[in-house]
Amino acid sequence: MSIFKSKSRFYFNISITQNINFFVKKIINFSEKKSINNNEIFDIYKKSGIYFLEHGRSAFYLFLISLKKKTKRKKIIINSFTLFEMINMIIYAGFEPVLIDLKENSFETNAKEKILEIEKDLAAVVITHLNGFNDDIFHVKNVLEKINFNNKNENIYLMEDCAVSLGSNKDGQYSGNVGDFAILSFNIMKNITTLTGGALIDNCNKLDINSSLSSFKKEKSISSIKKSIFVMLLQLLNSKIFFLFFFQFIKISHKYNFNFFLKKYRTDFKVFIKKGIPSEYLKKMDPLKKNLLINQFPKIFNDQHERIQKAKLYYDKLSILDCFYFPQKNFDNSNIFIDFPIICKNYELKNTIWEKSLINNIDIKNYYYTNCGNEKIYEIYKEKEKLINSNFIGQNIFMLPTNKNFRNKDIEKIINFLIETVKKWKNEKK
């Protein structure tokens, strides 16, 4: 008997009404006259330059091609456990990615040794904030400051990937304010969304970003309309009325490997690279999308507080089990908890939980990002023996819902399901 009435783990920060309003404005070619002061939207980045683009990865590419004009160095250090398109951007821009591992059962990295090993050919270090603040950035910043001080002719730049950490802060510093540059992402699954979208944060003003930005074109109205329709369809399918039926299709898709559907909404699916950067990534953000940010940003910290409380509820009840690791144990503003991550110590247990969750109509994520170093197309950029942790986490992770769709009683049901499933699995193994 199902314990859930199929509740969607997807949460959209804009309503269907807001999306329809955007759609209509694009259809009638409405021109938004109100100018946007960046400080009103991102007060935490008030001392920075902000460049809005159609994707977070586009913002990363803008940084890279600006950097390419200034350096002959070839290497960019980046976390192997990330969105594969981030690796692609490095290659498209003419650099070589250097993939580093996660720490054991953690979302943090340890980039110091690799920096010292290749510093003479190193152009930048990317620190990825996964679901919250990556403390490793402070160690990396200290190392780079010493290197740059002794070699003033050419800096090694520190880039923060804040695609899934907007709003997290540590000791009064927000993610995106520590490094020289940062990227933000506003796609439909983030805590702020513009359907698709991203931004480059420039904290140092040492690269000619505006010159590079000239190669980015205005997003065509038809493209924005198509994205609006796609998001509208997702919103409808994940609504209370339709999700009961949609989830049955999701279950069938997993059972029979309907990849054409699954690849539409998974971040770890079908890793590939093209001969050159796709033109869709060379677009500036649609002006109307910027206005979608205005009403969302003031709500971000209340939303973060609610997610933290739900994450703590998971941890308090599940940490008594000896079969899970928890990469995030700080339940404060250093984490935003778009989802709550748990790592199964046993891959067989992970598969059992996943199969039982589908049977019981529980919509949880059995993936996060992929270990890019495990993909054949990136083999030349990795040292296999040093990516063990990323591989283990990528294979054994679950992301549990923390959004507004799930009230505390729903969280309790998921917790009870996990405890019961683990108990039965252990008994069967005796």
For residue range 178-196, what is the model confidence (pLDDT) as tens digits?
999 999 999 888 988 889 9
Residue 49 lies in a domain: yes
Residue 106 lies in a domain: yes
Q: Convert the pLDDT of each residue in 196-209 to its tens digit.
A: 999 999 999 999 99
- Same domain? For 118 and 30 the reply is yes
Say which CATH number the domain at 89 has.
Answer: 3.40.640.10
Q: Convert the pLDDT of each residue in 277-291 to its tens digit.
A: 999 999 999 888 888
Residue 250 lies in a domain: no
Residue 263 lies in a domain: no
Residue 2 pLDDT:
47
% of the chain at pLDDT higher than 90: 66
- Domain limit, last residue, from 183, 218, 253: 218
Query: What are the Cα distances from residue 236, in Å, to 6, 254, 326?
Result: 14, 21, 33
Residue 233 lies in a domain: no
- Same domain? For 181 and 303 the reply is no
Q: What is the pTM of this model?
A: 0.94
Residue 32 pLDDT:
61
Residue 1 pLDDT:
38
Residue 159 lies in a domain: yes
Q: Convert the pLDDT of each residue in 89-139 to its tens digit.
A: 999 999 999 999 999 999 999 898 899 999 999 999 999 999 999 999 999
Please provide the average confidence, as pLDDT, over all residues in the chain.
90
Instruction: Domain of residue 181: give its range.
Output: 17-218
Decide if 46 contacts 178 (C-beta within 8 A). Answer: no
- Same domain? For 157 and 67 the reply is yes
User: Rounded to the nearest 5°, which phi and psi values hold at 260?
Assistant: -60, -30
Helix (H), strand (E), coil (C) string for the chain: CCCCCCECCCCCCCCHHHHHHHHHHHHCCCCCCCCCCHHHHCHHHCCCEEEEECCHHHHHHHHHHHHHCCCCCCEEEEECEECHHHHHHHHHCCCEEEEECECCCCCCECCHHHHHHHHHHEEEEEEEEECECCCHHHHHHHHHHHHHHHCCCCCCEEEEEEEECCCCEECCEECCCCCCEEEEECCCCCCCCCCCCEEEEECCCCCCHHHHHCCCEECCHHHHHHHHHHHHHHHHHCCCCCHHHHHHHHHHHHHCCCHHHHCCCCCCCCCCCCCCCCHHHCEECCHHHHHHHHCCHHHHHHHHHHHHHHHHHHHHHHCCCCCEECCCCCCCCCECCCEEEEEECCHHHHHHHHHHHHHCCECCECCCCEEHHHCHHHHHHCCHHHCHHHHHHHHHEEEEECCCCCCHHHHHHHHHHHHHHHHHHHHHHC
- Same domain? For 30 and 148 the reply is yes
Residue 110 pLDDT:
84
Residue 273 lies in a domain: no
Say which CATH number the domain at 415 has.
Answer: 3.90.1150.10
- Same domain? For 78 and 190 the reply is yes
* pLDDT above 80: residue 261: no
- Same domain? For 177 and 29 the reply is yes
Q: Pick the residue with more confidence: 392 or 293?
A: 392
- Domain limit, last residue, from 218, 249, 271: 218
- Same domain? For 200 and 319 the reply is no
Q: Which two tokens stand for residue 90?
A: 């490095």
Q: Convert the pLDDT of each residue in 384-401 to its tens digit.
A: 667 999 999 999 999 999
Residue 241 lies in a domain: no
- Domain limit, last residue, from 170, 195, 218: 218
- The structural domain count of the chain equals 2
